[in-house]
Amino acid sequence: MKRQMMVLALSSIFGLGAALAAPQTQDPTQDPNTAPQANVERHGHRPDLNREVQMLTKRLNLTQDQQTQILPILTARQQQMESIWKDSSLSKKDRHDKMAAVREQTDSQLKAVLNDTQKAQYDQLRQQQHERMQQRHQEKQNGGTQGTASNS
């Protein structure tokens, strides 16, 4: 259960990273189609990896060298996730397990680039995002059952 929570937290940092960074970014020269495109599909969308690196840079105070090392890690993760998602031969459980393994591998690779302070900040960031995701999930459940379950 604890492992699943960590996997869920890791997925939220990457999945929501671009969405969380979007309100903070006010550069009109950035591609305006990136954020709406990410909201079109639940899975299979292409997050803006440069935006994700920018968000991590801001939150973790990454050096230029770290940024250069992180981008290929995120690119590989994205390619692996797309490949897994498109593999129709996988069962739902197998797809979930493979994606979790990719997330764990990416997490390890990212942490290898970070210093101890950044690792602690990264863990805290993931935890905060996980908590926000859980809250949204609970709000969604409560909103969908509010009219029927409250009268029981």
Neighbours of 140 (CB within 10 A): 10
Residue tagged 């602690």 (tokens): 120
d(CA 39, CA 37): 5
Asked if residue 6 lies in contact with residue 108, where contact means CB atoms within 8 angstroms, the answer is no
Where in the chain does DSSP place strands (E)?
Answer: none
Average pLDDT over residues 114-119: 96
Burial of 47 (0-12, 13-18, 19+ CB in 10 A): buried
Domain locations along the chain: 72-119
d(CA 126, CA 120): 10
Residue tagged 């105070």 (tokens): 61
What amino acid occupies position 22? A
Determine the pLDDT at residue 74.
95
Asked if residue 70 has pLDDT above 50, the reply is yes
Cα dihedral 49, 39, 119, 121 sign = positive
**Which tens digits make up the pLDDT trace of 88-97?**
999 999 999 9
Contacts of 11 by beta carbon, 8 Å cutoff, 6+ apart: 99, 100, 103
Average pLDDT over residues 120-144: 89
Model's pTM, two decimal places? Answer: 0.62
pLDDT tier for residue 13 given thresholds of 50, 70 and 90: low
